[in-house]
Amino acid sequence: MADLKIYRASTTAPVNIAVIKYWGKRDPALNLPTNSSLSVTLSQSDLRTHTTASCSPAFDHPDTLLLNNAPQSLSTPRSLACLRSLRALRSGLEDADPSLPKLSTLPLRLASANNFPTAAGLASSAAGFAALVRAIADLYALRQSPTELSLIARQGSGSACRSLLGGYVAWDHGTRADGLDSRARLVAPKAHWPDMRALILVVSAAKKGVSSTAGMQTTVQTSSLFQTRAKEVVPKRMAEMEHAILSKDFETFAKVTMRESNSFHATCLDTDPPIFYLNDVSRAAIKAVEETNDKAGRTIAAYTFDAGPNAVIYYQKADEDAVLKTFLPILRQKEGWGETDTKIDDPGPASPQVVE
């Protein structure tokens, strides 16, 4: 009788929020970045993508993907690159052991769900491609390490390579033309700095106006600030940031994080036509962090923004009351934040996102 079994694997991948930003590609086809970047991986229990990958001889071709129950294309060059690489690794296993089922030739059914707004500048593509790669790698029983899999996820979305590892993760830009040294590297596990916290302020759940991919390409072509940022500013900050994380120096971590966010958004503004990701609510969050730090007489909170208006505020557990005291009253008076939909993302103000 024909084998009509359904093979299945499920996984979750967390969102990561960069404190040193990736912005600019040296090779768009292989998705190789101009500069290295570094991120903090948020807890799996907070912002994450859940993905189930199945394959079966009972399924029809082609492969399909549902994201939050809506069909998505898998025929983009990036998705195809990920699927091709994963199938090649599975096929290698099947060649070495003919008793293994030939999963590499079967159609795939992928079903993903985000528990946060998609494409609103909250690193949804990072968690999405990381979960897709991890789920198929599990389905295919691949033995590659997370760092090796990060080479595949990078081709889906650059920032996704950092979501395959927990804790504090660097993505080294690499120098090889084939990109084999452009992958994620663990700087420190979550347990290294257990007091670190991240508060996510969901300013807007709307889809961003300019996608990261398109925005960074225009920046590379038009911004005069970009070259200095990629060649001089970021390499120095990468070193400072890694040192700050390893020595748990929050003051330096915070200062570099904020200057780096501002440098990234300045580069966006220097792009022609200019790209605006921050809005009035974002700017109010920056002001609130500055006031919190002034009041405390030291740097106890740091803001960062990706390609959208939503703020991520990093702070340490000991300073939680002082940080939340600033944000909660403002968040509860919606008028103070204009007409935007402002809230602290689930699970609510009392228990901010815990950084993993």
Query: Residue 157 or 292: which CB sits closer to ligand DP6?
Result: 157
Query: Residue 129 or 140: which CB sits closer to ligand DP6?
Result: 129
The footprint of ligand DP6 on residues 207-266 (CB under 6 A) is 212-213
Per CB under 6 A, the segment of 16-24, 131-139, 197-205, 224-232 that binds ligand DP6 is 16-24
Strand partners of residue 199:
313
H-helix or E-strand containing 291? helix 280-296
Per CB under 6 A, the segment of 49-57, 151-159, 201-209, 246-254 that binds ligand DP6 is 151-159
Binding residue for ligand DP6, selected from 36, 54, 118, 157, defined by CB under 6 A: 157
Q: In the complex, what is the shortest distance from the CB of residue 290 to ligand DP6, in angstroms, rounded to a whole number?
A: 22
- Residue-wise DSSP of 322-347: HHHHHHHHHHH-GGGGTTS--EE-TT
Q: In the complex, what is the shortest distance from the CB of residue 198 to ligand DP6, in angstroms, rounded to a whole number?
A: 14
Judged by CB under 6 A, does residue 31 bind ligand DP6? yes
Judged by CB under 6 A, does residue 155 bind ligand DP6? no
The footprint of ligand DP6 on residues 311-340 (CB under 6 A) is none
Judged by CB under 6 A, does residue 22 bind ligand DP6? yes
Judged by CB under 6 A, does residue 14 bind ligand DP6? no
65-68: list long-range contacts, CB under 8 Å, 24+ apart.
65/110, 65/111, 65/112, 65/132, 66/110, 66/111, 66/112, 67/112, 67/113, 67/114, 67/118, 67/128, 68/112, 68/113, 68/114, 68/118
Binding residue for ligand DP6, selected from 146, 158, 174, 179, defined by CB under 6 A: 158
Parallel, antiparallel, or unpaired for β 108-114 and 32-33?
unpaired
288-293: list long-range contacts, CB under 8 Å, 24+ apart.
288/326, 288/327, 288/330, 289/258, 289/313, 289/326, 291/326, 292/322, 292/323, 292/326
Judged by CB under 6 A, does residue 299 bind ligand DP6? no
What does the alpha-carbon distance between residue 136 and residue 319 come to, in Å, rounded to a whole number? 41
Contact 10, 216 (CB under 8 A): no
Query: Residue 126 or 331: which CB sits closer to ligand DP6?
Result: 126
Question: Residues in contact with ligand DP6, total (CB under 6 A)?
Answer: 16
Binding site for ligand DP6 (CB under 6 A): 18, 21-23, 31, 37, 123, 125-126, 157-159, 212-213, 306-307
